[in-house]
Amino acid sequence: MIKLIVGLGNPGDRYQKTRHNAGFWLLDQLVANEHSRLAEDKKFQSEYGKIFLANHPLHLLKPLTFMNASGRAVSAAAKFYDIAPEEILVVHDELDLPEGAVKLKYGGGHGGHNGLRDIIAALGSKDFYRLRIGINHPGDRNQVVDYVLHPPGKAEQAQIDTAIIRGLNVLPILLQDGAEKAMHRLHSTE
C-alpha cells in the first residue's frame, strides 16, 4: 500500500516550467484536485502535505534539495513516518517515454535519472514504485541536460499534461486495487 508520494523536480522559479519538473507538476495538480496545500517542512528539506485519496491517508513530498539530492528528503520522511521503500511512489520525468506516455513501474535501476539514483542510494533499495511521465529524448545524449532544464513547447506541454491527468486518474486504482490492476488500466489505455 502506497503511503508516500514523492514528486521530483528542482525548486525555484527558474526551473518551475522545465521538463525535469514533471513530478512536481503532477503533485501540484493532485494537491489542487484535493483542495489541499503543501507547506515547507525543514526537517524533510521539502514541501510536505497530507491528504486522503480513495479513503487512504497519503503523505506528499516535493524535495527542495534539487533533483540530484532528492534522496535525503525522501529518506528523512520515510524514516520519520516509518514508511518502507515498497510503500513509496516516486513521480518523475522520463526521457525514454514520448510526451503523453505515462507508465507505472516497481523497482529497477535509475536509468540515468539522477534523482532516482540518489533516492536508491539514500533508501538502500530499488524496491519502490515509480510513475514515469514521458518527456521524450532530445536524440543526442549530449543534449540531455540542456533539454530537461528547458520548458517544453506548447504542443509538448499539452501531451505531458494529458499524461499527468492519466497518472492522477490511476492513483485511486493503485490505492484500492493494487499495482497490478493500476498498471493494467494505465498501460492498456495508451
Q: Give catalytic residues, as residue numbers.
A: 20
Alpha-carbon distance of 95 to 93, in angstroms, equals 7
Check if the beta carbon of residue 137 is closer than 8 Å to that of residue 94: no
Alpha-carbon distance of 146 to 175, in angstroms, equals 36
Say if residue 169 carries a ligand binding annotation.
no
Say if residue 68 carries a ligand binding annotation.
yes
Say if residue 142 carries a ligand binding annotation.
no
Say if residue 33 carries a ligand binding annotation.
no
Three-class SS of residue 114?
helix
Extended strands (E) in the chain: 4-7, 39-41, 46-53, 56-63, 88-94, 102-106, 129-134
Alpha-carbon distance of 116 to 29, in angstroms, equals 21
List residues forming the annotated binding site: 15, 66, 68, 114
List residues forming the annotated binding site for tRNA: 15, 66, 68, 114
